[in-house]
Chains A and B, each alone.
Chain A
């Protein structure tokens, strides 16, 4: 920090006594670049108008009835009470979302890790495999893929054509409330590419000597995976878990597109954000939607905190 030359000048020869400094010079160590505020102007504006104010605004609106056209009408805890006591669809959306998160996060990360381990060896075509496995996660969030997914699992879709090959008659997986959600879980698992790439980068950091030493000690591949790979990869597994949980709670596009915006059949794909959208923008219950948003914020915050709390027990950092 002490780059300025005046600090090293002998104290007795400071000329400040005779000549008043041209501008109040900030004390060394607490230097202030006033031009910084100029650089930060866009960000400050955005923070104030598009982040801080809306965050507080939605908290306020969550205690009101508000339909965009008339001014908000104070409703106390009415929205929150209604959500948990008088709105089966809300509870359904919670249930659907929790099932989705609980299935999709471990399965997707499991696939990602398994494939990453397979790809993490000097091997011809490795880069090509990596690209191919990665592409779905780049395209998967799009409307187009959701549209295709709906077709693949429809009654005359490819899956049933495939099953018919084995003499199994299937009905539409999309319009069956028992299976619709699982097609969306599958869609998300299909997009395991980006955690896989993160795992691959982590695997490359594990020194080969550790594997060699484990081999010398007689550890087989399975044992090496659990005793070397997994412990050293825990920081990255942790990172992926945190990220994927946050993202899975906010999933929207596939459910919206596959169900035509309804969350059907029988609300079986009524994701939390989809119901929030319906309440806020279809029914114009914007106070209610704000309350839902705040509950979502709390859920995600709690899960993230739990993750960080548990991390101490299982995440291994080498430098500790």
Chain B
């Protein structure tokens, strides 16, 4: 009898171990490319490819120092560009999308249903279908090789996904709060600024996180709009770095690649829970 009762317990334990084993094996495969990159950036040039072992024998910072200043301008400029664009994009999305979302979630106006459907539809629209005319527009405005084509659209709430996210969130805020404020004499604008806005904290943070990550990594737009070295961002500069250095300095290439991932990684560490939640509940692309 006892053996019969213990058997499932033992089997369960074995299975738990097997699961862990499989997951650990998977972890190694998943992490290896990243480890190899980080390790390689500290290795001597000649050791990067000859060794499977990702761990360097010593922490050699030469690649970082040489890589940072290998381009003209240096990576300092590229990081300033990237950060400015990302921060402005975050500001734009937060301001424009909250305004729009409030109108859709709480106000009544003619054509609301149609406009809401259009807004939802625009989420699915592939950017390429708008690409050429937008480029022509920005070209004629003289905005090519400035931050403007990357930043101004955010202030015009073109990232409809975040509008949708916020509408969903604002709808969960009890309307009784609005009504109470209305009785106290608040207009729609005051209700927005005093009641709704302070309560949208979580969804604002989600918007900020994902706008930052997406903008920072948005290689395609940056590639198209920024072609002067001094206006380049980190991804574009890194891409050019591959051409410029060729086979000669893999160490520097790896070092700059590692650094280019640092901003995203820091955001992940700071906001891990929120990122995972955001994806789980909305299907945001991570």
Contacts and interface: CB of A to CB of B under 8 A. Distances in A.
Given A260-B242, A289-B132, A33 B122 contact: no
Interface size class of A (residues with CB under 8 A): 35 or more
B243 interface: yes
A224 to B, nearest CB: 14
A294 B239 CA distance: 28
Interface of B: 16, 19-20, 22-23, 26-27, 30-34, 36-37, 49-52, 95-96, 99-100, 102-103, 107-110, 115, 118-119, 122, 124-137, 139, 153, 155-158, 163, 179, 187-189, 192, 213, 217, 219-220, 223-224, 235-236, 238-239, 242-243, 250, 253-254, 256-258, 260-261, 264-265, 268, 272, 275-276, 279-281, 283-286
Given A194-B286, A243-B285, A286-B132, A142 B107 contact: no
A246 B123 CA distance: 11
A190 B129 contact: no
Given A57-B136, A123-B19, A256-B223, 7 more contacts: A37-B109, A50-B153, A123-B20, A147-B239, A147-B253, A151-B49, A273-B220
Nearest to B235: A143
A228 interface: no
Interface string A134-169: 111111011111011101100011100110010000
A32 interface: yes
A42 B157 contact: yes
B34 A135 contact: yes
B42 to A, nearest CB: 15
Nearest to B115: A40
Interface in A156-194: 156-158, 161-162, 165, 190, 193-194
Contacts, number: 265
A53 interface: yes
Contacts of A55: 125, 129-130, 133
Contacts of B189: 35
Contacts of A289: 131-132
Interface stretch (A6-14, A89-97, A124-132, A309-317): A124-132
B143 to A, nearest CB: 12
19 contacts: A39-B100, A40-B103, A42-B96, A50-B130, A51-B130, A115-B26, A129-B23, A130-B276, A133-B26, A136-B30, A139-B265, A141-B217, A143-B257, A148-B254, A158-B32, A239-B283, A273-B128, A286-B136, A297-B125
Query: Interface majority SS on B: helix, strand, loop or mixed?
Result: helix
A50 B250 contact: no
Interface string A245-265: 011011011001100100000
A139 B129 CA distance: 26
Contact of B257 (A37, A144, A281): A144
B239 A139 contact: no
B129 A43 contact: no
Contacts of A144: 37, 235, 238, 256-258, 260-261
